[in-house]
Structure 1
């Protein structure tokens, strides 16, 4: 009999259910899942407010759901009826699951207050075939109720190929492989792939390494062994380990691309050692132990390939590290059940994958298990993506494209991963210097959608933010914006960001670190604040329009209602709401904020409207000299403006004073306590490190982490540096001991070992550009 529990079981044991996996359902999306006999599934809402709706995919599953004491589903039908892009994605998922008319299909709803909820499939009987959804309607830019994520905890008995995920598609499509290759533990298998086909190598049970080698199949047929070469690959990429993105090609000895690494759900592999060899085991005293090299030799024998004593290979999931001294270390793999890498063949290949037999050290978690290889047709499409996690135990999140990606990718192929999104670094036909000049002299537009957005509403919203932020939130007026730090108890910075006051007890916090939302929820729960905290990043993407003529461009483009401030009159650090294209046009929120030191604005819209917003700005801006702006140019702009960047000017061990934003800590005028206040008050002003500028006497390049010296001894560190078009020299943001932070002080940047090469410079006040902030305030 199928059992429904509305609360977790009191005991932590699951009997024979020894393994579990965490799954995520993105807002307005769904997931198809099979619950086999005896298995359990826990459903939970991450923000405590998102409902879950379920439909069964066969008569048994449907009867089961309709027999539960749950309300009928309705929200997913409302989402479908809205006919927005989220409806298209969800419709495609439901139809691929065998539901031809999703709008008319019945389901059940689990309210957020009923979570966590557990489903258990009967010990005897048929599996439950389900689609679970996190439905919701699009959030308008001036509202604050956002669809949220659901997290599933699936307890099962045995890891199996059936549980392996297909590659990330950017939506909920289920992609079927054209063939599969199972590699039992301690063995290797050879297989052929055609040019353009996709190769997914998956770790079935977790913590299992898989060596991979490839041969040019056409060359092999004429008797020539052209193989994947890790040294050539590293040399061409200019990195110690090839990564997804534009520098993800694996090359052969002739430096020609053989494979492209497209997705990686782990981020930790080895590509600079041999596959394990007989000698390795013999040196450890394990004579006759099977090795990946020996398994490769056996798998390649039918192809007439001579055996080797050691095969150069990419070892997926092998957790190795290289110390600065060159020492190679290793530990248990980071891979979890179902983790994978996805490659694309650039030509016809013979590939060999192993399931490494190493059981004498942590390489495979002391217990070798299986590897599964799946081949997908060349006409499939998978976006580039790498995994990241906001918290250690959550399911991996894969890199996404922003609402403006279709437009930026038409202008450049230069992208890098930032905060879980692909972002352009520079644009073809412009380049960083031209983009920089356009922003300084005319106007430039930049995609800044990776910024995280959190809606904070409720009776205690102000009290919570007053506790969490260093700024005095009580002074913030409706319609105004304030820049603030957010610290933990030591005074170290978790993040910085801007706070928008949408209404009396309704705020929007815009920041860089997605963990900030978790921190706010934990603080609210700990102190009993009556508040709702919802992430709205998936509902709000944004462009920065910066430069002297940005106001002119937006004023002609954005219509605002009579009750809202027009763009032409918008004050610095304030926002308004309007439409692009007249009273019936595309809704947007406009804030007079930016990150360049120039007059500028940010335009916030729903991702479904992203292309429309970009196109309108692009067409209107062409006669004004509008240019796209990439991260390389942005770095030049923000350093000249003395603006700080996470991971460079601050981290959790850096307080706001040392980060150069002590003005965000009003200890004298903010009487209430806030997180980190006690720690910040313990540091006398005279003892605080200071963020200053350094102008070098040369254009030689320096970098984050270079030490600053006074004579023989270090007195500070470079946090960010560029060659400045404005000054014509290399400039840097530097963190200095207070005794050496006076403008005019002569110091040196030490390179190599700090003593063999010195670059002289002079300490200056910040910012380098527009010291009085006249332009940004104009």
Structure 2
């Protein structure tokens, strides 16, 4: 007898929907506060290994109660008390909350130390509370020099509740600041509220995958008898985006084309402004008569403000996952939002608002399970960083967009920033512009913030063996002080990432790449193999700028001091690095590598974020007389395409092997005589290639774009991966992944525009390196 098929999808992002389980993050060098009831279990996890953990616990009267978790104080464990003494808005809020609980912050005792040093990645300790406790957890960490590899990393806290609530929703996140008003909207209801100019609105998805429709009216307009409401069509048109996000195009506009709200933070990044809020007619058409709907609920909520009812409201559908596909169909699926995700908006004028919690339970719009929406209004006195959120894995805690150590200086030169893999980086600079920045790099010297590159310390006696297994290059041949460029592949041969590997010592390496998940991947492989090795994230503690161009050596040799054990800057070889200091023996510690992403002679400077301003200032002091220019992402794209340098998500992805991506030289299948991940697949792929990376020179002045199809007659034979107008060559060029039968230089192909067939641009196949193919400049 066959049983019915049951849907049990793996949904790691919805871990917080488990009624008896909660999860929290302790940031490197930070603190987290949690409350425990008698019988609750607290598990502390050292994610990356070699991370100390300290804990303080207090009873309901504010007295020290480490015994309530079976712990005792450790001599010298004072990180929590010193961290609470720091300046900062978040620390001030934390101190205020602790003081309200009766905790004497002036006499904080020594904390318990949870484990000794040398803990492996994933090490965990489980504690059980015997009484009601307020617990402070810390991941101690101090400032470390750039050449050090012992850095603080995050801890994870898991709470198992002994008595979970019968009707349960995840706990609300801690408020971001001073709350003026807050309330919960239950599924199938809506609520009106007033917001003053400058105040902030936080719309929280409590349990995840729940839509909330939002409308807003100019309050002064309503007082004058005019309904001036937020208009999705105007907003899309003026922003050039389906939905405004934090950054340059962040405004919601009203029907008079005036800015009404600014998006300050968004931890989801996928919402809907295409369709109406759900209506009675929608449910009636599906056979559900009398079903609650957001449009009717919003009309009732706004009636008291003199707003007329509407059968369907053109609302902003926060968290609603719809889109318009290539066939002009409006698609719908479950929301991307996870428990605790939110959008933070700033009112630009006095507003009357209404928000709903959508009742839709007849399709995937709310994950088939409508839940609560929570609204918080914050004081206009608060200041919040502009941010989106990134996660290493679907179940990872969100990390908001960060500012690099160089941001205070770059922001003086431009307001054009984009969220690049979780960091704000400049796209172009005022007073310069993309073309001037490009020529400045080709002819003189340019500086660019590249802090968004991910850095991972790989340490321990098995470090070389792990990296040799996970990278395509032969790491055994890498000398101390040397850098090598490599690919990192999955078992099927598709690329996880590319990057550079530095050898700092016999058993100490630094992997620099673009993909956050690379660190997780390395730890997973080390665990499978039972290796003694630690992979520590270092991106937050190592910030870097690239100094590129023919005059880069002349500039840097004036400011980089090196001891006798290190090469001088002017003697540093290609793909080598040095450890030195800024200006002299007592200057801030630096590392300088002779690497870059422009095809020019160039270097990268690596420093602690606290030293970033000093490095930037000194660079400009010496470089301005030499014609130094800042370099944004737009100009960098021109430079790297001309040099034939590949970019993740464009030239390669997990469906592309290194040979197809044009970096087959990183896979020494003949000389590397040991196994590595993807070796067998890469042997097959090399023997039977299907596609190859080539260059295209376009005829005429019309450009190509990433994703354009490439044709031979009717048949598509390739795709454009990157394209630009080359200022130096005076023509449009492109990198293209092309069927191997068409890769002979001089072959004529056509790039499809419009629908791929109605318009074609002729192009000629050339080598994928348009500028200095012999790399004489970069080797100079």
TM range (shorter): over 0.9
Q: How does 1:15-34 map to 2 (within 5 A)?
A: 18-34=19-35
Aligned partners of 1:101 and 1:347: how far apart in 2? 40
Residue from 396, 406, 409 that aligns with 1:407: 409
**Is this contact kept in 1: 2:591–2:607, CA < 8 A?**
yes
Structure 1 segments unaligned to the other structure (5+ residues) = 1-13, 168-173
**Is this contact kept in 1: 2:34–2:136, CA < 8 A?**
yes
Measured after TM superposition, the shift of residue 176 of structure 1 is: 2.6
Measured after TM superposition, the shift of residue 100 of structure 1 is: 6.6
**Stretch deviating more after TM superposition (359-368 or 136-145):** 359-368
Measured after TM superposition, the shift of residue 684 of structure 1 is: 4.4
2:435 — aligned with what? 433
**Stretch deviating more after TM superposition (454-463 or 586-595):** 454-463
- Can you list the C-alpha shifts for 1:364-413, whole angstroms capped at 9, x where unaligned? 23333322111111121111111222211122222111111111122111
- Can you list the C-alpha shifts for 1:546-573, whole angstroms capped at 9, x where unaligned? 1111111111011111111111111110
CA-atom RMSD, angstroms? 2.4
2:153 — aligned with what? 148
Aligned partners of 1:434 and 1:694: how far apart in 2? 25
Measured after TM superposition, the shift of residue 259 of structure 1 is: 0.5
1:361 — aligned with what? 363
Aligned partners of 1:367 and 1:692: how far apart in 2? 49
The TM-score with structure 1 as length reference comes to 0.93
Aligned partners of 1:101 and 1:281: how far apart in 2? 56
Q: How does 1:188-587 map to 2 (within 5 A)?
A: 188-587=190-589
Measured after TM superposition, the shift of residue 88 of structure 1 is: 6.5
Counterpart check, 1:107 vs 2:138:
no
Measured after TM superposition, the shift of residue 638 of structure 1 is: 0.3
Q: Structure 1 residues 76, 296: CA separation in 2 closer, same or farther (over 3 Å shift)?
A: farther
- Can you list the C-alpha shifts for 1:514-541, whole angstroms capped at 9, x where unaligned? 1111111111111222212111111111
Counterpart check, 1:635 vs 2:640:
no
Q: Structure 1 residues 17, 387: CA separation in 2 closer, same or farther (over 3 Å shift)?
A: closer
**Is this contact kept in 2: 1:451–1:512, CA < 8 A?**
yes
Residue from 132, 138, 158 that aligns with 2:137: 132
Secondary structure (helix, strand or coil) at the match of 2:292 reads coil
2:8 — aligned with what? none
**Stretch deviating more after TM superposition (203-212 or 155-164):** 155-164
Aligned partners of 1:71 and 1:562: how far apart in 2? 48
Secondary structure (helix, strand or coil) at the match of 2:157 reads strand
Aligned partners of 1:712 and 1:86: how far apart in 2? 66
Secondary structure (helix, strand or coil) at the match of 1:543 reads strand
**Stretch deviating more after TM superposition (283-292 or 585-594):** 283-292
Q: Structure 1 residues 78, 628: CA separation in 2 closer, same or farther (over 3 Å shift)?
A: same
Aligned residues: 754
Measured after TM superposition, the shift of residue 685 of structure 1 is: 4.6
Secondary structure (helix, strand or coil) at the match of 1:733 reads strand
- Can you list the C-alpha shifts for 1:94-142, whole angstroms capped at 9, x where unaligned? 63433675795321121246942234445xx53x212211111222111
Measured after TM superposition, the shift of residue 746 of structure 1 is: 1.4
Aligned partners of 1:390 and 1:573: how far apart in 2? 29
2:51 — aligned with what? 50
Aligned partners of 1:623 and 1:19: how far apart in 2? 64
- Can you list the C-alpha shifts for 1:222-242, whole angstroms capped at 9, x where unaligned? 000000000000111112222
**Is this contact kept in 1: 2:80–2:138, CA < 8 A?**
no
Aligned partners of 2:589 and 2:580: how far apart in 1? 6
Aligned partners of 1:35 and 1:17: how far apart in 2? 17
Measured after TM superposition, the shift of residue 706 of structure 1 is: 1.0
Q: Structure 1 residues 378, 578: CA separation in 2 closer, same or farther (over 3 Å shift)?
A: same
Q: Structure 1 residues 276, 503: CA separation in 2 closer, same or farther (over 3 Å shift)?
A: same
2:622 — aligned with what? 620
Counterpart check, 1:164 vs 2:184:
no
**Is this contact kept in 2: 1:216–1:347, CA < 8 A?**
yes
**Stretch deviating more after TM superposition (202-211 or 639-648):** 202-211
**Stretch deviating more after TM superposition (635-644 or 708-717):** 708-717
**Is this contact kept in 2: 1:30–1:93, CA < 8 A?**
no
Q: Structure 1 residues 19, 421: CA separation in 2 closer, same or farther (over 3 Å shift)?
A: farther
The TM-score with structure 2 as length reference comes to 0.92
Secondary structure (helix, strand or coil) at the match of 2:595 reads coil
- Can you list the C-alpha shifts for 1:216-270, whole angstroms capped at 9, x where unaligned? 0011100000000000001111122222221121111111110011111222221
**Is this contact kept in 1: 2:69–2:129, CA < 8 A?**
no
**Is this contact kept in 1: 2:292–2:359, CA < 8 A?**
yes
**Is this contact kept in 2: 1:708–1:718, CA < 8 A?**
yes
Aligned partners of 1:691 and 1:73: how far apart in 2? 59
Aligned partners of 2:76 and 2:328: how far apart in 1? 57
**Stretch deviating more after TM superposition (46-55 or 674-683):** 46-55
Secondary structure (helix, strand or coil) at the match of 2:65 reads helix
Aligned partners of 1:551 and 1:402: how far apart in 2? 24
Residue from 585, 592, 602 that aligns with 2:594: 592
Aligned partners of 1:242 and 1:74: how far apart in 2? 52
Q: How does 1:640-719 map to 2 (within 5 A)?
A: 640-685=642-687, 687-719=689-721
Secondary structure (helix, strand or coil) at the match of 1:72 reads coil
**Stretch deviating more after TM superposition (201-210 or 628-637):** 201-210
Residue from 184, 187, 191 that aligns with 1:185: 187
**Is this contact kept in 1: 2:720–2:736, CA < 8 A?**
yes
Structure 2 segments unaligned to the other structure (5+ residues) = 1-14
Secondary structure (helix, strand or coil) at the match of 1:33 reads strand
**Stretch deviating more after TM superposition (233-242 or 680-689):** 680-689
Measured after TM superposition, the shift of residue 283 of structure 1 is: 1.1
**Is this contact kept in 2: 1:78–1:137, CA < 8 A?**
no
Aligned partners of 1:384 and 1:237: how far apart in 2? 17
